[in-house]
Amino acid sequence: MDVLATKRARRAENKVITIAHVNAHGIKQKKQQIKQFLEDTNAEILGASETHCSETDLLPSIDGYSWLHNPGSERSSGVGILFKKRLVTGETKLFMKGRIVGISIANLTVIEAYSPVEGDGETLEQFYEGINEALAWGRERKEQLIIIGDLNAHVEGWWSEKTNENGYRVKRLCKEWGLELLKLDEPTHLHSSGSTFCLDYCAADWGVIGRVIDFGCSKNNPIGSDHLPITLKLWERWEKERMQFVRKLRIDRLRSPVYLKVFQDDVNYDLKRLD
The model's confidence at residue 242, banded by pLDDT at 50, 70 and 90, is very low
Write the secondary structure of the chain as one string of H (helix), E (strand) and C (coil): CCHHHHHHHHHHHCCEEEEEEEECCCCCCCHHHHHHHHHHHCCCEEEEECCCCCCCCCCCCCCCEEEEEECCCCHHHCEEEEEEHHHCCCCCEEEEECCEEEEEECCEEEEEEECCCCCCHHHHHHHHHHHHHHHHHHHHCCCEEEEEEECCCCCECCCECCCCHHHHHHHHHHHHHCEEECCCCCCCEECCCCCEECCEEEEEEHHHHCCEEEEEECCCCCCCCCECCEEEEEECCCCHHHHHHHHHCCHHHHHCHHHHHHHHHHHHHHHHHHC
User: What is the reported pLDDT for 171?
Assistant: 94
Residues 176 and 256 occupy one common structural domain: no
Does residue 137 have a pLDDT over 70? yes
If phi over 0 gives left and psi between -120 and 50 gives alpha, with beta otherwise, what is residue 7? alpha
Residues 220 and 137 occupy one common structural domain: yes
User: What is the reported pLDDT for 275?
Assistant: 54
User: What is the reported pLDDT for 262?
Assistant: 56
Total structural domains within the chain: 2
Residues 169 and 261 occupy one common structural domain: no
Segment among 41-55, 77-91, 252-266 with least mean pLDDT: 252-266
Q: Report pLDDT digits (tens) over 123-136.
A: 889 999 999 999 99
The model's confidence at residue 233, banded by pLDDT at 50, 70 and 90, is very high
- The answer to whether residue 259 sits within a structural domain is yes
User: What is the reported pLDDT for 163?
Assistant: 92
Residues 157 and 108 occupy one common structural domain: yes
pTM of the model: 0.79
User: What is the reported pLDDT for 133?
Assistant: 97
Residues 99 and 195 occupy one common structural domain: yes
Supply the mean pLDDT for the chain: 82
Residues 167 and 269 occupy one common structural domain: no
Q: Report pLDDT digits (tens) over 6-57.
A: 555 555 556 899 999 999 888 888 889 999 999 999 999 999 999 888 877 8
Domain of 184?
Answer: 14-235
Residues 45 and 155 occupy one common structural domain: yes
The model's confidence at residue 177, banded by pLDDT at 50, 70 and 90, is very high
- CATH label of the domain that carries residue 114: 3.60.10.10
User: What is the reported pLDDT for 110?
Assistant: 97
User: What is the reported pLDDT for 173?
Assistant: 96
Residues 174 and 250 occupy one common structural domain: no
User: What is the reported pLDDT for 5?
Assistant: 52
Q: What is the mean pLDDT of residues 165-171?
A: 93
Residues 185 and 68 occupy one common structural domain: yes
